[in-house]
């Protein structure tokens, strides 16, 4: 069976039309619908688990081999989702990295429209200066660097520090909203106070300075591990006493919030800490929205002293493995301890 | 000069009209405008100062002579503004009272739509049970009893306790929105925990339980003096360091806030604590809105022990005098200490 | 049986205590609890119905006998709730009046912190100037005079106009927040445009001028009867078609709203218009909060011409009787028409 | 000069480190910083102008050659930004297309999480059924299809219709939040009412049905040209009278808003209509955020009849050229008419 003349003419007209679409700067919907508007989200990202025992030695080696300084700015190694090859993104909207700051090192000042948090995995006696406010970084603390605040880090010890960086880099890139500026080469302050100005003003439960207005991101620069630990411990204890507080049986959780609004601490990234009672398995949850989750079989002890955790070894026996459930991935967790 | 017949007729017609107004249930505006819509607020309330040295002995005598119990409910003595004679109101919208609970006494359970706070002037080891949650009351603490929560007090010591009651009774009366209900005669709990459940869930700076929704009134039942004291101290210290935080030179202030919204702890009454550096005089302020202010020449020492303040004498040398600026009263304060 | 010496002593001590309370400016709670904190609101106000056939002639007589002008300001006759004798208040929080403006009369300019609406009962060709914007008043229209806007009225016809005044006078008086200021003696404008500037900017459904910010009270000065009528008619027609829209069967209702927020048109007074299908009886409703309700057996016809409603007689056959359910009064309405 | 042994060793160690990064699923920041966090947004998109005289004939040809039906769903031709080759995106976050519906054609029912608006360029007597509500489409109207509402189109005339489709497809794709579902093959309704149910409930200025709650997207399905035109006309007339309203001299603008909140009609796409007085040049504006702008030298006349605009020719003499300023593009417009 061969094409008729009409068929040929119609095919020619169609070919011409599609050529004209291209000339006119048009792309028809009907040839692309499935990719553009899938029945359910088809994220390129995949669930992935990184092993701390693999990450830490690599970070340590980079500490020996790669200097930190102006230009490179930070010794941060981004988790690259295997479904997003070549992209330094943990999920389609989140950037998550291990940052390593060697003994006596300084990471220089800059600021950017991207919002950031840091979560300290090990060490103390590093200070993050945020717009001139020196904020101590200690194991288990969550620290904020809201959009457009100048920040820099200095390590005043002979030990390295490792922390997690979380930023909204992919989201801001998609929105074409990224701005970046280098700060001065000199540290804005070499002070090493126990508590930052931000904490002295804001870290009082339920109290706010009358003089300070609402802000979209939290003005509280640091959420200390001792508070987070106490809050999680209390929820699990209250559960035993029959008092509501946990998310579900054996599953405690707090949200880092902005004391001026009660909403999330950062406008672009939700930050939470959960704790599972040993033997608990959470309800599987599937959501539109991705996550980077750090898991650890045992919680840190609050206010533990450096001596208990010899440098370079703290991670060995106590892995804190990041894993990244992308959008629409069904996720549940099991607890090995309390 | 005499009235003409026309004058007489017109007067008669006017008299008839005004009689008809009354018959018809009408009152003309033009005879009342000045009172109804004054050029500026003409509050009946007047500025007034009560002396603690006068209030405390009276409260103590009532403790000996008047039992507390069902019916009377509370041994509370309301500040009656001299401009509102016979009314137990400190200002046109605020009810403020001295409450006195004797050794081993119990004030029975009830609840009401009126919102309330307590501010403890002296003593400890009294517990306020709020919907079954035992909340310790200690000197300098602000405690909340939001609308419609059952509450009762028990004193487990051989010493009395005095505190300030603040309620929105006049406002709720004006709005005809007052509801009241007696609770059970038995105490809901005789527990005397160091920290209430509400504090265990909520008194962690910047952290909120993921499982708990927003609420119009604060879910944090107690704002402890040690936190309030620390926040005020920090503001004045930061001022010396050149860091913004105080309201104006020498004038520190925190607002008791709702951690779920960042707004006021109670929806109907603003609660704040201020501290003045010695020698400071605040900017005079005039507002539409009245206040009840307790003034004290020296702040309490945080975590002071009972031993330092023998019962019955703590107020003598350290008066905490309430004063009530009504609406549109110009107010300034001077500090005698830090 | 006689009093013992102990009884006498105790009585004396109590008498002394109560005398001291008075001297100290204190009023004990336990002698007043029932009145202060009743089990349920005990509003002094009572449900009351005023008959239009009684109100209108009285208003007309006042038009002949009482001039309108500076000082008295407005020929407004307030509904005085029989439960609040001597007070010109319809309910404990609402002021509601009949206002009558005679032919060619002018009511002079003033402004006040009290918020107001007007609802026109009869007539047209009166203009209300609000901050210099001439707003036509016509039968069935709701007009706003938000807090602190200068306003004045002028009647350019040989016919009188009657309207309803609604203000938050009692509430503002309770809050001691009333301010009042006379405006210029001359009219700000004698223009008589068909549409006010406010309507030209704002009376376009779902459209807002990009240049205008949000405001707490509605910037739309007039809600025209033709729109209100059309909205109510549509709801009842949609109900017949099986489409949701009415409040309950046979009961249509619209709320006058602020196009910048979607909330109530005035921050202190809710304003709504309801219509009942003939034979409908609404669900009884009891609320904390009072109301002034105007009832009319038949709706006006939209865009009807003056000729159909001879002056002075329009009210006779078509009563619009106000009634005032106070707080906690159970209220239901029956419809006589559509 | 040759490498020393140390150089060689160090290079080897670095090579090993970078290889290990890859093995470990890590990408270092310092090799990528410029691309990840540029000093200012470096949008791939470029400013581009499409000519209506080029678009319309192509759309008409596709109407003759390409059927509309299940699978392809819509005869929509997307503007493809030359800076985003191969992608059917007008800007990095916006999808904008010409949609063409031939005489008597039907586009089948579907729904998606992407939000959409339609702006009608020419024609009338097409109906868009949104969740069973038949909404007439006429020249100059803005019509909404909020997220997850079933919608379908039917043309009941012998004339084609052309309109603009605006969707948030790229944004939703980036967020991996796209869901799509086919609806029934049969039209949900063949009704062709003058006004949709949504308009009967909501298109009354400042009035909202009491029974309907707030919604994130506007419940008003259609914003009619006659209202938009009147609002823009009024702003320019008020400007001549010296009354504020325009954005800047000669530049009128309205925002399509949600009557339940006063905010934007759609949560993901801002929609506005502007009009320039002849000879006006707007202030150049640069923003983070892209736009698709349709420009037309003369406004349509309101309520013009089809007869005035013979089919197939309406666009010829009256181009409506889309142009797409990407993020950070400085944009100004000049007016050729009023």
pLDDT tens digits, one per residue of A201-247: 999 999 999 999 999 999 999 999 999 999 999 999 999 999 999 99
Model confidence at C69, in pLDDT bands (50, 70, 90)? confident
Domain of A108 in residue numbering reads as: 40-335
D123 or D187, greater pLDDT: D187
| Eight-class DSSP state of A30 | G
What is the C-alpha separation between D127 and D152, in angstroms, rounded?
Answer: 8
Rg from Cα positions in chain C: 24
The pair of three-digit structure tokens given for residue A48, joined into one six-digit string: 């992935």
Any chain B CB within 8 A of the CB of C19? no
Tokens 């935080």, residue located: B245
The pair of three-digit structure tokens given for residue B256, joined into one six-digit string: 């008791």
Interface of B with C in 81-120 (CB under 8 A): 82, 86-88, 92-93, 95, 97-98, 112, 114
Tell me, yes or no, whether B55 and B75 share the same domain.
yes
Beta bridge partners of C275: C252
CB contacts, 8 Å: A7 with chain D? none
Nearest to D222 by CA among D295, D161, D140, D287: D140
Is C314 a residue whose pLDDT tops 70?
A: no
Dump pLDDT digits (tens) for A93-104.
999 999 999 999
What count of CB pairs under 8 Å joins A to B?
146
Residues of chain B with pLDDT > 90, as a percent, come to: 70
Model confidence at A299, in pLDDT bands (50, 70, 90)? low
Tell me, yes or no, whether C28 and C44 share the same domain.
no
Tell me, yes or no, whether A47 and A15 share the same domain.
no
Beta bridge partners of B222: B143
Residue of C nearest to D257 (CA): C206
Tell me, yes or no, whether C81 and C217 share the same domain.
yes
For residue B112, the model assigns a pLDDT of 97
Any chain A CB within 8 A of the CB of D70? no
Q: Do C30 and B66 touch (CB under 8 A)?
A: yes
Tell me, yes or no, whether D256 and D322 share the same domain.
yes
Calculate the alpha carbon distances from C36 to B153, B169, C288 in Å: 20, 7, 17
Q: Do C178 and B328 touch (CB under 8 A)?
A: no
Tell me, yes or no, whether C22 and C51 share the same domain.
no
Question: Rounded mean pLDDT of C30-53?
Answer: 88
Subunits in contact with chain A (3 or more CB pairs closer than 8 Å): B, D
A150: helix, coil or strand? coil
What is the C-alpha separation between B117 and D326, in angstroms, rounded?
Answer: 55
Tell me, yes or no, whether D15 and D49 share the same domain.
no
For position B104, which CATH number holds?
2.60.120.10
CB contacts, 8 Å: C210 with chain D? 247, 253-255, 272
Nearest to C141 by CA among C251, C84, C224, C207: C224
Q: Do B209 and A260 touch (CB under 8 A)?
A: no
Model confidence at A300, in pLDDT bands (50, 70, 90)? low
What is the C-alpha separation between B250 and B252, in angstroms, rounded?
Answer: 7
Interface of D with A in 181-240 (CB under 8 A): 181
Residues of chain D with pLDDT > 70, as a percent, come to: 91
Dump pLDDT digits (tens) for C248-307.
999 999 999 999 999 999 999 999 999 999 888 888 888 888 888 888 776 665 543 333
Tell me, yes or no, whether A19 and A158 share the same domain.
no
C273 or C336, greater pLDDT: C273
In a domain, B73, yes or no: yes
Instruction: Give the H/E segment covering residue C169.
Output: helix C169-174
Dump pLDDT digits (tens) for B265-291.
999 999 999 999 988 888 888 888 888
Tell me, yes or no, whether C29 and C54 share the same domain.
no
Is C135 a residue whose pLDDT tops 60?
A: yes
Nearest to C192 by CA among C237, C136, C233: C136
Tell me, yes or no, whether D193 and D287 share the same domain.
yes
Is A149 a residue whose pLDDT tops 80?
A: yes
Residue by residue, DSSP assigns B115-183 as -EEEEEEE---EEEEETTEEEEE-TT-EEEE-TT--EEEEE-SSS-EEEEEEE-HHHHHHTT---EEE-
Dump pLDDT digits (tens) for D313-337.
333 334 567 777 777 777 777 765 5
Farthest CA pair distance, chain C: 88
Is A317 a residue whose pLDDT tops 50?
A: no
Tell me, yes or no, whether C28 and C96 share the same domain.
no
CB contacts, 8 Å: C205 with chain D? 199, 202-205, 220, 223, 227, 259
For residue D128, the model assigns a pLDDT of 97
Q: What angle do CA C208, C212, C218 make, to 5 degrees?
A: 70
- Which range, of A15-19, A53-57, B191-195, D140-144, averages the lowest pLDDT? A53-57
In a domain, C1, yes or no: no
Dump pLDDT digits (tens) for C165-209.
999 999 999 999 999 999 999 999 999 999 999 999 999 999 999
Tokens 């033009």, residue located: B30
Q: How many helices (H) and strands (E) does chain D have?
A: 7, 19
CB hemisphere CA count around B17 (13 angstroms): 19
In a domain, B2, yes or no: no
For residue C279, the model assigns a pLDDT of 87
Model confidence at B69, in pLDDT bands (50, 70, 90)? confident
The pair of three-digit structure tokens given for residue B306, joined into one six-digit string: 């009972």
What count of CB pairs under 8 Å joins C to D?
147
For residue A155, the model assigns a pLDDT of 96
Is D161 a residue whose pLDDT tops 90?
A: yes
In a domain, B235, yes or no: yes
Q: Do A24 and D50 touch (CB under 8 A)?
A: yes
Q: Do D204 and C265 touch (CB under 8 A)?
A: no
Q: Categorise residue B255: left if φ over 0, alpha if ψ from -120 to 50, beta otherwise.
A: beta
CB contacts, 8 Å: D33 with chain A? 71-73
Rounded to the nearest integer, the mean pLDDT of chain C is 89
What is the C-alpha separation between A21 and A26, in angstroms, rounded?
Answer: 5
Note the pTM of the prediction, 2 decimals. Answer: 0.92
Domains in chain D, number? 2
Dump pLDDT digits (tens) for B313-328.
333 334 467 777 777 7
Dump pLDDT digits (tens) for A6-59.
889 989 999 999 999 999 999 999 988 778 899 999 889 998 988 888 898 999
Tell me how crowded residue D174 is: count the other CB atoms within 10 A of its CB.
19
Is B192 a residue whose pLDDT tops 50?
A: yes
Pairing of strands A133-137, A126-130: antiparallel
Tell me, yes or no, whether C30 and C44 share the same domain.
no
Nearest to D160 by CA among D294, D322, D306: D306
Q: Do A26 and D79 touch (CB under 8 A)?
A: yes
Residue of D nearest to A51 (CA): D24
The pair of three-digit structure tokens given for residue C207, joined into one six-digit string: 């459209």
The pair of three-digit structure tokens given for residue D104, joined into one six-digit string: 């008597």
Which one of C65, C78, C82 has the shortest CB-CB distance to B14? Answer: C65
> ipTM of the assembly?
0.90
Residue of C nearest to B327 (CA): C176
Task: Answer for the pair A291, A328: CB distance below 8 angstroms, yes or no.
Answer: no
Burial C283-315 (b: 16+ CB within 10 A, else e): eeeeebebbbbbbeeebbeeeeebeebeeeebb
Model confidence at D294, in pLDDT bands (50, 70, 90)? confident
In a domain, C204, yes or no: yes
CB hemisphere CA count around A146 (13 angstroms): 15
Dump pLDDT digits (tens) for B117-159.
999 988 889 999 999 999 999 999 999 999 999 999 999 999 9
What is the C-alpha separation between D254 and D275, in angstroms, rounded?
Answer: 9
For residue D309, the model assigns a pLDDT of 34
In a domain, B4, yes or no: no
For residue B321, the model assigns a pLDDT of 75
In a domain, B82, yes or no: yes
Beta bridge partners of B278: none
In a domain, B1, yes or no: no
Burial C117-132 (b: 16+ CB within 10 A, else e): bbbbbbbbbbbbbbbb
The pair of three-digit structure tokens given for residue A280, joined into one six-digit string: 């608990």
């Amino acid at each position: 069976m061969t094409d008729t003349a009409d068929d040929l003419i119609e095919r020619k007209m169609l070919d011409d039309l599609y050529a004209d679409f291209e000339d006119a700067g048009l792309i028809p919907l009907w040839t692309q619908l499935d990719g553009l508007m899938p029945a359910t989200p088809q994220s390129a990202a995949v669930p992935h688990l990184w092993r701390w025992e693999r990450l830490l030695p690599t970070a340590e080696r980079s500490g020996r081999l790669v200097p930190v300084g102006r230009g490179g700015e930070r010794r941060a190694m981004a988790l690259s989702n295997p479904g997003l090859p070549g992209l330094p993104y943990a999920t389609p909207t989140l950037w998550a990295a291990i940052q390593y700051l060697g003994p006596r090192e300084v990471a220089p000042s800059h600021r950017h429209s991207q919002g950031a948090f840091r979560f300290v995995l090990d060490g103390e006696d590093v200070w993050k200066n945020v717009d001139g406010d020196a904020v101590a970084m200690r194991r288990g603390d969550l620290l904020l660097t809201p959009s457009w605040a100048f920040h820099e880090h200095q390590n005043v010890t002979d030990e390295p520090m490792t922390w997690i960086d979380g930023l909204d880099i992919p989201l801001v890139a998609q929105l074409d909203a990224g701005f970046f500026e280098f700060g001065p080469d000199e540290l804005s302050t070499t002070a090493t106070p126990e508590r930052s100005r931000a904490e002295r003003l804001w870290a009082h439960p339920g109290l706010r300075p009358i003089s300070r207005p609402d802000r979209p991101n939290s003005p509280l620069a640091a959420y200390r591990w001792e508070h987070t630990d106490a809050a999680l411990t209390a929820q699990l204890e209250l559960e035993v006493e029959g008092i509501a507080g946990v998310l579900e049986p054996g599953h405690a959780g707090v949200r880092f919030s902005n004391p001026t609004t009660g909403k999330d601490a950062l406008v672009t990234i939700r930050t939470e800490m959960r704790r599972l009672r040993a033997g608990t398995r959470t309800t599987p949850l599937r959501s539109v929205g991705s996550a980077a989750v750090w898991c650890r079989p045992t919680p840190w002890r609050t206010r533990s002293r450096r001596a208990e955790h010899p440098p370079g070894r703290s991670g060995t026996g106590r892995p804190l493995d990041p894993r990244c459930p992308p959008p629409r991935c069904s996720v549940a967790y099991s607890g090995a301890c309390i």
